[in-house]
């Protein structure tokens, strides 16, 4: 079943909840791959009704980011999630989610218009580190749309990929802080056979760039192996990752080893810490991470 208005999907979900159904929810921006499918399959196993949203959210893209070019492949997406066991798809238009954004959209801009009054959800501290440092406003856009979608879809459980680890932590924090009765479940990163983490943005890369992009997972594995062999020095471990990625011409944004809950950098690496990396391969921004 496909719904695109807030009132329709709310009515539908409310009636299901009245009948005692456990609702799970997987938010996505579409151009779905096996990573997204894995979330839907897990939700299918653990609930009665699986709701997936497909919405490219303008408020989480910066002014020079790829909102307009983000791949939109709705027909293929619908097939994939149906096969994976999705019951209800929510595919709103931008104006349905942001009714006051008319003017901005007419000007074809993805950035936030400062003249428009807007209520946003904001994280503090943890939105300034890792990706947040390089994408100002991104996580405010993510938290805002996810809270809106939670209010609309009223899920009991929600599934997020650990590929976007910082996003997962910020959503968990939001749910706790705002007293939402939703269980947030983090799901493993799905990778291509050669190790590249699946991402909708991988399709931007040429064959040559795709090969170089492998250095992200190589860097993470090398750091983890060195750690297992006894290296604990944060600087040395980071240096290892940096040199692997720069050899492959990755324009590195960061390599960080942080506490996996607070996201604060650790001086000495320890088991359970998160190694997170981000960089550009050509014009494509890639992220990846691993737990030590």
The tokens of 137 are what?
């406003």
Measured CA angle at 10 (ends 8, 13), to 5 deg: 110
DSSP 65-94: SSTTTS---HHHHHHHHHHHT--EEE---H
Segment interacting with ligand AMP (CB under 6 A) among 67-75, 99-107, 182-190, 243-251 = 182-190
User: What minimum distance in Å lies between the beta carbon of 66 and ligand AMP?
Assistant: 12
Cβ proximity to ligand AMP, 90 vs 160, nearer residue: 160
Residue 199 makes contact with ligand AMP by CB under 6 A? yes
- Which residue has 């932590």 as its token pair? 169
Cβ proximity to ligand AMP, 28 vs 253, nearer residue: 28
- Total residues contacting ligand AMP by CB under 6 A comes to 17
Q: Based on C-alpha coordinates, what's the Rg of the chain?
A: 19
Closest CA to 292 of 215, 211, 214, 238: 238
User: What minimum distance in Å lies between the beta carbon of 209 and ligand AMP?
Assistant: 18
* Residue from 9, 23, 29, 240 in contact with ligand AMP (CB under 6 A): 29
Question: Helix, strand, coil: what percent of the chain each, to 5?
Answer: 45, 20, 40
Residue 56 makes contact with ligand AMP by CB under 6 A? no
Segment interacting with ligand AMP (CB under 6 A) among 30-38, 112-120, 129-137, 202-210 = 30-38
User: What minimum distance in Å lies between the beta carbon of 235 and ligand AMP?
Assistant: 29
Residue 35 makes contact with ligand AMP by CB under 6 A? yes
* Residue from 154, 190, 205, 287 in contact with ligand AMP (CB under 6 A): 190
Is residue 219 within 8 A of residue 256, CB to CB? The reply is no
Segment interacting with ligand AMP (CB under 6 A) among 42-50, 128-136, 184-192, 208-216 = 184-192
Contact residues for 115 (Cβ-Cβ < 8 A; gap 6+): none
Cβ proximity to ligand AMP, 164 vs 173, nearer residue: 164
CA distance 104 to 94: 11
Residue 144 makes contact with ligand AMP by CB under 6 A? no
Residue 55 makes contact with ligand AMP by CB under 6 A? no
Cβ proximity to ligand AMP, 46 vs 231, nearer residue: 46
CA distance 160 to 26: 7
33 assigned to active site: no
CA distance 285 to 278: 7
Cβ proximity to ligand AMP, 190 vs 250, nearer residue: 190
Residue 217 makes contact with ligand AMP by CB under 6 A? no
Count of residues for the chain?
A: 292
HEC states along 259-292? Answer: CCCCCCECCECCCCCEEEEEEEECCEEEEEEEEC
Is residue 240 within 8 A of residue 223, CB to CB? The reply is yes
Q: Which of 36, 42, 201, 218 is catalytic?
A: 36
User: What minimum distance in Å lies between the beta carbon of 187 and ligand AMP?
Assistant: 6
Residue 196 makes contact with ligand AMP by CB under 6 A? no
Active site members: 36
């Amino acid at each position: 079943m496909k719904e695109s208005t807030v009132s329709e999907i709310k009515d539908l979900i409310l009636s299901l909840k009245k009948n005692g159904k456990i609702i799970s929810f997987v938010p996505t921006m579409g151009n779905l791959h096996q990573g997204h499918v894995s979330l839907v399959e897990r939700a299918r196993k653990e609930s009665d009704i699986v709701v997936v949203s497909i919405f490219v959210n303008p408020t989480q893209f910066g002014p020079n980011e790829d909102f307009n070019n983000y791949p939109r492949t709705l027909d293929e997406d619908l097939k994939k999630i149906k096969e994976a066991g999705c019951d209800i798809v929510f595919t709103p238009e931008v104006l349905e989610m942001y009714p006051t954004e008319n003017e901005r959209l007419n000007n074809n801009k993805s950035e936030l218009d400062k003249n428009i009054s807007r209520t946003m959800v904001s994280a503090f501290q943890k939105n300034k580190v890792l990706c947040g440092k390089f994408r100002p406003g991104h996580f405010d856009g993510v938290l805002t749309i996810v809270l809106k979608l939670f209010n609309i879809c009223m899920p009991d459980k929600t599934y997020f990929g650990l590929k976007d680890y910082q996003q997962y932590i910020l959503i968990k924090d939001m749910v706790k802080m705002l007293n939402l009765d939703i269980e947030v479940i983090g799901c493993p990163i799905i990778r291509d056979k050669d190790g590249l983490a699946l991402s909708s943005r991988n399709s931007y890369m040429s064959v040559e760039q795709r090969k170089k992009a492998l250095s992200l997972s190589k860097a993470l594995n090398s750091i983890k192996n060195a750690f297992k062999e006894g290296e604990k020095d944060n600087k040395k471990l980071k240096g290892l990752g940096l040199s692997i990625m720069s050899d492959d011409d990755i324009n590195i944004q960061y390599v960080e080893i942080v506490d996996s809950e607070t996201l604060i950098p650790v001086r000495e690496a320890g088991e359970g810490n998160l190694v997170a990396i981000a960089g550009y391969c050509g014009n494509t921004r890639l992220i990846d991470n691993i737990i030590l």
